[in-house]
């Protein structure tokens, strides 16, 4: 049964940003610009489906 | 019955062509009450946000920031408090009588402050942080997962009971950050469906990602002691517990995905039955506040709920 399972999407492996990009990435993180998943919603929730 | 009269009724059956997107949260809700799952999928929510949800979101944020190198060890407590405040502003927050906002913040600051040492002791290098996976498990049926942490062991992991090596350097490890009043039991750690879905997602993706198949999984549990004052001595019990490492078998995985397909089939058939249970410890117990949708089910009232645009009471009850 598990043979029927297909991977549709996977995340990228985490790579530390280059030294030039690090400060910008850090600033974005601290400002909350890249933290959609930390909006106060339950994780793994999807868009409305009904 | 209503389905024949009201095509917008959220509990109508749908055909096989309808795409069902599940998540571990939805599957776990289905095991408690299909009616509650129906409301969850329709995005009907209580207006008040549980304080525990705000707490968990703020703690996950500082953990991610630390692991990515964006938050220094010395700033963990302060930035937890800042995020906890930001996420609370402008919201109606529901909380336990015994645990005020101030008490919750003190506990969160302690756990945030301790996290760097806890994480360092695990000896894991991050591979995936808050990673989104999507699996197709059947025709028009998908599971979406967001995995807190996948890492690679930088030192052997030893079983504390037997002294056996249970993971070698380079092995792939899956962790989920949890906070609760008590550490999870061995049975829950062994059979938690959430970790089973994570395990299989990582296993199926490992070739594509260029990593080893998962070797161990577990919950990293931060304890939230029961305390009612910010200067309580019980604060000393706000600690990260040693991980109870477990594995998943093919049998575990097959059972978990059979269950997921079963939930999808029930959704398609419109089987959103309530689960009264046999006694007062049932999911329908409104005395204990166990059901988030008591007002809707009991009185057909939408007061106190956020209802997505376009739905009327007739669509929901």
Mutation site, A3, A4, A6, A7, interface B, largest B CB count within 10 A: A7
pLDDT digits 0-9 by tens, B136-180: 999 999 999 999 999 999 999 999 889 999 999 999 999 999 998
CA distances from B75 to B24, B71, B97, B167, B221 (A): 32, 6, 30, 32, 21
Whole-number Å distance between alpha carbons of B45 and B198: 26
Share of chain B above pLDDT 90, in %: 81
Cβ burial, residue B33 (10 Å; 0-12/13-18/19+): buried
Nearest Cα to Cα of residue B57 among B24, B21, B82: B82
Q: Per-residue pLDDT for B1 more than 70?
A: no
The minimal CB distance from B42 to the residues A25, A40, A48 is found for: A48
Partners of residue B308 in chain A, C-beta under 8 Å: 48
Q: Does A30 touch chain B (CB under 8 A)?
A: yes
The SS3 call for residue B284 is coil
Partners of residue B71 in chain A, C-beta under 8 Å: 30
Q: What's the confidence (pLDDT) of residue A20?
A: 86
pLDDT digits 0-9 by tens, B199-249: 999 999 999 999 999 999 999 999 999 999 999 999 999 999 999 999 999
Of the listed ranges B1-10, B179-188, B202-211, the one predicted with least confidence: B1-10
Please give the average per-residue pLDDT across B242-264, as a whole number.
97
> Are A29 and B68 in contact (CB < 8 Å)?
yes
The minimal CB distance from B25 to the residues A5, A14, A44 is found for: A44
Instruction: Please name the residue that has the structure tokens 């062509």.
Output: B17
pTM of this prediction?
Answer: 0.92
Partners of residue A3 in chain B, C-beta under 8 Å: none
pLDDT digits 0-9 by tens, B61-110: 999 999 999 999 999 999 999 999 999 988 899 887 778 999 999 999 99
Residues linked to residue B22 through DSSP beta bridges, in sequence order: B143
């Amino acid at each position: 049964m598990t043979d029927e399972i297909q991977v549709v999407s996977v995340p990228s492996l985490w790579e530390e940003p280059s030294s030039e990009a690090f400060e910008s990435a850090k600033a974005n993180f601290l400002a909350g610009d890249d933290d959609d998943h930390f909006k106060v919603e339950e994780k793994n929730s999807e868009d409305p489906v009904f | 019955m209503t389905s024949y009269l009201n095509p917008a009724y959220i509990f109508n059956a749908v055909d096989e062509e309808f795409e069902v997107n599940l998540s571990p949260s939805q599957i776990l809700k289905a095991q408690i009450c299909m009616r509650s799952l129906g409301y969850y999928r329709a995005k009907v929510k209580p207006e008040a946000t549980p304080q525990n949800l705000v707490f968990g979101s703020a703690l996950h944020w500082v953990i991610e920031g630390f692991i990515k190198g964006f938050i220094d060890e010395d700033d963990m407590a302060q930035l937890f408090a800042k995020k906890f405040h930001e996420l609370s502003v402008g919201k109606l927050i529901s909380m336990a009588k015994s645990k005020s906002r101030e008490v919750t913040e003190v506990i969160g600051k302690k756990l945030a402050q301790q996290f760097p040492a806890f994480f360092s002791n695990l000896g894991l290098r991050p591979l995936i942080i808050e990673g989104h996976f999507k699996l197709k498990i059947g025709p028009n049926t998908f599971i979406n997962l967001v995995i807190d942490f996948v890492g690679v062991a930088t030192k052997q992991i030893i079983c504390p009971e037997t002294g056996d090596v249970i993971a070698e350097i380079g092995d792939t490890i899956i962790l989920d950050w949890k906070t609760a009043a008590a550490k999870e039991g061995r049975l829950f750690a062994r059979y938690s469906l959430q970790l089973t879905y994570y395990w299989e997602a990582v296993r199926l993706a490992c070739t594509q990602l260029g990593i080893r198949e998962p070797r161990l999984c577990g919950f990293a549990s931060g304890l939230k002691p029961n305390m009612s004052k910010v200067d309580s001595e019980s604060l000393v019990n706000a600690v990260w517990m040693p991980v109870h490492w477990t594995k998943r078998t093919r049998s575990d995985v097959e059972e978990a995905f059979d269950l997921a397909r079963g939930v999808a089939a029930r959704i398609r058939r419109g089987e959103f039955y309530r689960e009264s249970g046999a006694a007062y410890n049932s999911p329908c117990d409104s005395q204990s506040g166990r059901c988030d949708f008591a007002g809707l089910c009991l009185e057909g009232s939408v007061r106190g709920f956020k209802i997505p645009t376009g739905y009327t009471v007739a669509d929901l009850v």
